[in-house]
């Protein structure tokens, strides 16, 4: 088989950066599964599963689900056969502990990351976007208060994940401002797709 090397991508970016939208477009274009841990968590809560019961309180408060639980969830998901040809992670890793665990897991599975993409957007614009999203969507974690907490959690726990990847020279930081199409072009260019 010839074919290109699998794209194994991590998407990083603060809440409100448009990460979810870009992740859907990019995974569709690349033909790889879009793995959104936020969506997985919301689905678990809705289905009333055991996992859902364990994570609900964290989602409702805009706090992070504990690392060990998230790492187990992602280990299961990446073991599925649809990830063999690549994957796009959206919302994981969210802490440096998760990033280290992901490196360990992927090296065990012999499928290291090919790209780490961060979407950078200034904080005042993020707050504005979060407010608007809170008004228009019914997401329980999208009230302005919870959204502000999510942003705070981001700066405290998730921003260091970018530094973790910058330190190992794997980070590709892109400007997240502009239209959906503009940002998508930047991402496609960085991935060569």
Residues with catalytic function: 19, 94, 133, 139, 150
Contacts of 169 (CB under 8 A, 6+ apart): none
* Residue 141, φ and ψ in degrees, nearest 5: -95, 15
**27 lies in the binding site for ligand AMP (CB under 6 A):** no
Residue closer to ligand AMP by CB (options 12, 30) is 12
How many whole angstroms separate alpha carbon 80 and alpha carbon 136?
35
Chain centroid offset of residue 113 CA:
14
Helices (H), the chain: 19-30, 37-47, 50-61, 67-78, 96-108, 123-136, 144-153, 159-167, 180-191
| Cis upstream peptide for 140 (omega within 30°) | no
Q: Which of residues 137-166 bind ligand AMP (CB under 6 A)?
A: 141, 150
**37 lies in the binding site for ligand AMP (CB under 6 A):** yes
**134 lies in the binding site for ligand AMP (CB under 6 A):** no
DSSP 8-state secondary structure symbol assigned to residue 143: S
**Sole window of 4-12, 34-42, 77-85, 174-182 interacting with ligand AMP (rule: CB under 6 A):** 34-42
**96 lies in the binding site for ligand AMP (CB under 6 A):** no
* Shortest distance in whole angstroms from residue 127 CB to ligand AMP: 15
* Shortest distance in whole angstroms from residue 28 CB to ligand AMP: 18
* Shortest distance in whole angstroms from residue 181 CB to ligand AMP: 23
Q: Are strands 86-90 and 7-12 parallel, antiparallel or unpaired?
A: parallel
**94 lies in the binding site for ligand AMP (CB under 6 A):** yes
Instruction: Kindly write down the DSSP assignment for every residue of 56-77, as one continuous string.
Output: HHHHHHTPPPPHHHHHHHHHHH
Burial class (CB in 10 A: 0-12, 13-18, 19+), 176: buried
Residues 98-117 as x/- pattern, contact with ligand AMP by CB under 6 A: x-------------------
Q: Which of residues 41-70 bind ligand AMP (CB under 6 A)?
A: 41, 58-59, 62-65, 70
Residue closer to ligand AMP by CB (options 43, 109) is 43
User: Which spans of this chain sit near ligand AMP (rule: CB under 6 A)?
Assistant: 15, 37-38, 41, 58-59, 62-65, 70, 91-94, 98, 141, 150
């Amino acid at each position: 088989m010839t074919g290109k090397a699998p794209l194994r991508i991590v998407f990083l970016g603060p809440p409100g950066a448009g990460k979810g939208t870009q992740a859907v477009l990019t995974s569709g274009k690349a033909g790889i599964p879009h793995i959104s841990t936020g969506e997985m968590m919301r689905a678990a809560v809705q289905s009333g599963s055991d996992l859902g019961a364990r994570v609900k309180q964290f989602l409702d408060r805009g706090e992070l689900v504990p690392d060990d639980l998230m790492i187990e969830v992602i280990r299961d998901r990446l073991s599925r056969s649809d990830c063999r040809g690549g994957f796009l992670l959206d919302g994981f890793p969210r802490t440096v502990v998760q990033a280290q665990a992901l490196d360990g897991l992927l090296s065990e599975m012999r499928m290291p990351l090919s790209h780490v993409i961060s979407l950078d957007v200034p904080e005042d614009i993020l707050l504005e976007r979060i407010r608007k999203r809170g008004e228009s969507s019914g997401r329980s974690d999208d009230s302005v208060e919870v959204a502000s907490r999510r942003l705070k959690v981001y700066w405290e726990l998730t921003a260091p994940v970018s530094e973790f990847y910058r330190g190992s020279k794997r980070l590709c930081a892109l400007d997240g401002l502009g239209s959906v199409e503009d940002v998508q072009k930047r991402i496609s260019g960085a991935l060569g797709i």
